Copies of this chain bind each other. A is one copy, B any other.
Amino acid sequence: MTSTRAPELATLLVSCPDRRGIVAALAQLLYGHGANILDSDQHTDPIEQQFFQRIRFDLSELITDRGTLERALAEVAERFQMNYRLLYAARPKRVALFVSKYEHCLYDLLLRHRAGELSCEIPVIVSNHPDLERAAREFGIPFVVVENTAATRAAAESREHALLKEHDVDVVVLARYMQVLSADFISRWEGRIINIHHSFLPAFVGGRPYHQAYERGVKLIGATAHYATAVLDEGPIIEQDVVRASHRDSVEDLVRKGRDLEKFVLARALRWHINDRVLIYGNKTVVFD
């Protein structure tokens, strides 16, 4: 219900063992504090007996205050053994882009951000090459070169980690960042690094997937956005898409077609992540789109 005050939106993401009464408990809790539910989506995994819910609500007519609401929520969460996150829209996510030499994903995200498609802040772009500095400058975003090779990885990642802290970053996007991250780095940012892989995973893991696709003679090529995990190309999948290919397509044609896929799939995955629509469980995702 549209209120006369400016809305103060928040999102609650919940997962817990499935049992009776969860939906009612949360609805009652929010209503009791004067929060108005705008949108709610829910899923139960019947095999894992796991419950998931996303609730978006308006706090502008709260009859208590946020602290009270948060304490009440903590109590309900304990009762139902919930993992939960409560996110206030007034504090948009802060996204760091990691890039190398390819500009297509970087421009795509920056243009979408400028067009208002991505409700986030982009405080910093990190690259292991200086090539894309000009693009960053054009959009007025700090661009930091951190050289990163097998030999210098530890120092480089330490520098990157410090940069992310300094810029208060919530999520890292590997926008065709052509450098493997250490298991340690990934575990520190677990569930907060989104990578774009240029194949329809689990087909063509590893390097040069377009070459692999060409060799195998597939009739569709794909791209996959997923959370990075220690095992390369094995993380929870957020989004995938494909486009038709044929015998007429050279590897270069596949690369060209793939660029469009990579842009789309990565942008969609990031959009869902920053809108708090993605829940990880096990090695899968629930996407409330």
The stretch that binds B, out of A31-39, A91-99, A179-187, is: A31-39
Which among B1, B104, B201, B248 is the interface contact of A19 at CB below 8 angstroms?
Answer: B1
Residues in B with CB closer than 8 Å to A115 are 103-104, 256, 259
Question: Do B248 and A43 touch across chains, with their CB atoms under 8 A apart?
Answer: yes
Question: Do B40 and A40 touch across chains, with their CB atoms under 8 A apart?
Answer: yes
Q: Which of A3-29 touch B at CB < 8 Å?
A: 18-21, 23-25, 27-28
Complex CA gap A69/B247 in Å reads 30
Question: Do A219 and B202 touch across chains, with their CB atoms under 8 A apart?
Answer: no
Question: Do B20 and A36 touch across chains, with their CB atoms under 8 A apart?
Answer: yes
Is A287 an interface position by the 8 A CB rule?
yes
Taking chain A's interface residues, is the majority helix, strand, or loop, or is none over half, making it mixed?
A: mixed
Is A128 an interface position by the 8 A CB rule?
no
Which among B27, B44, B219 is the interface contact of A27 at CB below 8 angstroms?
Answer: B27
Residues in B with CB closer than 8 Å to A51 are 1
Given contacts A247-B286, A259-B115, contact A241 B220 (CB under 8 A): yes
Shortest CB-to-CB span from A240 to chain B, Å, is 4
Offer 14 A-B interface pairs, CB within 8 angstroms, sorted by A.
A2-B18, A24-B31, A24-B37, A27-B28, A28-B28, A201-B216, A217-B237, A217-B284, A219-B238, A219-B240, A242-B242, A246-B287, A246-B289, A260-B264
Chain A contact residues, CB within 8 Å of chain B: 1-2, 18-21, 23-25, 27-28, 30-32, 36-47, 49, 51, 61, 103-104, 107, 111, 115, 117, 138, 200-204, 216-220, 222, 236-242, 246-248, 250, 256, 259-260, 264, 283-287, 289
